[in-house]
Amino acid sequence: MKRILVVDDSVTMRQLIKLVLMKYLPCQITEAQDGLDALAKLKEGDFDLVVTDVNMPRMDGLGLIRSVREALKSTVPIIIVTTKGAEADRDMGLKLGANAYLTKPINGLQVSKTVTELLG
């Protein structure tokens, strides 16, 4: 069973992403409320995928990606799910090391397709 870390400061969003993911693939979801919380959980255990928001207190999604790629030297696939739809934001996210960039409001089919592609 795949282990997925869902990072979002909104409980509503975490719940929604969790339900969408569990609907499409058998997985074990761990929740984190911001980048720092996520980083701590990534240090504690192995994850097959990280789904993260960008706008979060303490450490945002971009900071999290930078830390995961540079400090943890991890290649875990990361999907950004954000309200920021500008091309520059997308480029920045992907340049920092995100594997996919999705915008809110989320589309369940699109999320499942992206997750399936990344997890093989």
Partner 1 sequence: MSHKKEKDSQEHLPAADGAVRAYTRSKNFVEEIMRENERLRYKVFHQQQELAGVPRAASDSHHDVVSENQQLRRQLEEIKTQFEALNRENEDFRQRYQEVEHQNENLLNLYVSGYQLHSTLNEEAAVTVIREILLNLVGAEVFGVWLLDPGTRKMDLVNLTDECDLLQGQPARLSGERWEGLRGGEPWFAAAGVGVPGGEPVACIPLKLDERTVGVLAIYKLLEQKEGFTSLDQELLGLLAAQAAATLIGARTFTRGGGGLVWDPKDDGLGVGPA
Which residues of this chain interact with partner 1, rule CB under 8 A? Answer: 10-13, 15-16, 19-20, 23, 83, 85-86, 103-109
Supply the minimum distance, in Å, between the C-beta of residue 12 and partner 1: 4
Supply the minimum distance, in Å, between the C-beta of residue 89 and partner 1: 10
Q: In this complex, which beta carbon is closest to partner 1, that of residue 22 or of residue 40?
A: 22
29-49 burial, b at 16+ Cβ within 10 Å, e below that, comes to bbbbbbbbbbbebbeeeebbb
Q: What does residue 48 show for φ and ψ, rounded to 5 degrees?
A: -90, -20
Q: In this complex, which beta carbon is closest to partner 1, that of residue 18 or of residue 35?
A: 18
**SS3 call for 78:** strand
